[in-house]
Amino acid sequence: MPPKNDRMKILGTGSALPKHTVTNDMLSDYVETSDEWITTRTGIKSRQIITTERFEDLAALAGQRAIDAAGLVPEDIDFIICHNVCNVYVTPSLASLVQGALGIKGPNCPTMDINSACAGFVYGLDICDAFLQTGRASHILYVCAEEVTRMVDWTQRETCVLFGDGAGALVLGKGDNYLASKLTSTPMPDVIYYRLPCEPTPFETGEGIDTHVSMQLKGREVFRMAVTSAQRDIRDVVSKAGLQLEDIDHYLLHQANLRIIDAIKQNFDLPQERFHTNIHKRGNTSSASIPILLDEIIREGKVKRGDLMVFNGFGAGFVTSAAVVRY
């Protein structure tokens, strides 16, 4: 183990959601669905959907709230990492746009984006941990921001009812609170994917595989893999931290489907209230789901300093991730 205070600590959290709330009943204006189907199959009742907001402003607002919660100012941040699957800018990075929106002038605040789909939150924590451990940064702003509702086909009821938009952010500094992590990846690109065309060139016409396909997912397959991998990864990461499952105060799982979370927690003989959820009011916000939930339960006073938390996610790839963190 690295020496004490040579790893990572959460200094502050923040989140930001679009202002427009869409209930299940409102969705039946667009596709043949019902509140009853969505509630029983997913646990979702409503979600926030981006409308007139600028996506980078939403990400920056979550970041500013995390900076405030850490008792810092934007100029204290010396690295910005964003996790994002898709937004209208392919380049520059979302992290670079967030830097501008926060008024951090630079040049000594590098920025970059990562993308490990819905499992990405812990992937990014691992990267932050590495930069802090090597002394390459002292205060990292890490923002997971997603607008998944712009990746789905709004005539496909199988996908469009599942998602919401939002951003969750953390300010991370040196500490000894990142106790263990586990990342996995298995190449299965057909279970969840979304494809955008690149520009045609005189040498590549864009025909064939280079076409636009809105988000596709094999729901049942993902459901099964999510439950199996979560049971495995949670046990592995807790044991890697030298702890028992019952030592963990809070379990924060990727909010994709309440039935997935219920199936996972049934396999652990633990008090149900240790598994936090907000999917009923947020939908699936991809990589942002865990940090938004984390920020909400911290602000609700449910987490105190010293509590042990497990984060666990899964997503397109197929990728999975888990971590044990002391708050």
Residues lying near ligand UT7 in the complex (CB under 6 A): 33, 37-38, 41-42, 118, 157-158, 161, 192, 217, 219-220, 222-223, 256-257, 284, 315
Least separation in angstroms between residue 160's CB and ligand UT7 is 8
Q: At a CB cut-off of 8 Å and minimum separation 6, what does 227 contact?
A: 260, 263, 264
Give yes or no: 254 in active site.
Answer: yes
Least separation in angstroms between residue 315's CB and ligand UT7 is 5
Least separation in angstroms between residue 183's CB and ligand UT7 is 16
Residue 10 or 234 with smaller CB distance to ligand UT7: 234
Residue 41 or 45 with smaller CB distance to ligand UT7: 41
Give the 3-state secondary structure percentages of the chain, helix then strand then coil, rounded to 5.
Answer: 35, 25, 35
Residue 12 or 164 with smaller CB distance to ligand UT7: 164
Least separation in angstroms between residue 51's CB and ligand UT7 is 21
CA atoms within 13 A on the CB side of 273: 3
Catalytic residue among 177, 254, 257, 276: 254
Partner residues linked to 132 by β-bridges:
none
Catalytic residue among 86, 109, 118, 144: 118
Least separation in angstroms between residue 181's CB and ligand UT7 is 19
**Which one-letter DSSP state was computed for residue 84?**
-
Cβ atoms of 250 and 276 within 8 Å: the answer is yes
Residue 159 or 177 with smaller CB distance to ligand UT7: 159
Catalytic residue among 84, 177, 284, 312: 284
DSSP code string of 181-244: EEEEE---TTSEEEE-PPPP-SS----GGGS-EEEEE-HHHHHHHHHHHHHHHHHHHHHHTT--
Of 72, 87, 8, 70, residue with least CA distance to 324: 8
| Exposure b/e, 65-80, CB count within 10 A at least 16 = b | bbbebbebebebbbbb
Chain residue whose CB lies nearest ligand UT7: 219
Residue 158 or 262 with smaller CB distance to ligand UT7: 158
Give the catalytic positions in this structure: 118, 254, 284
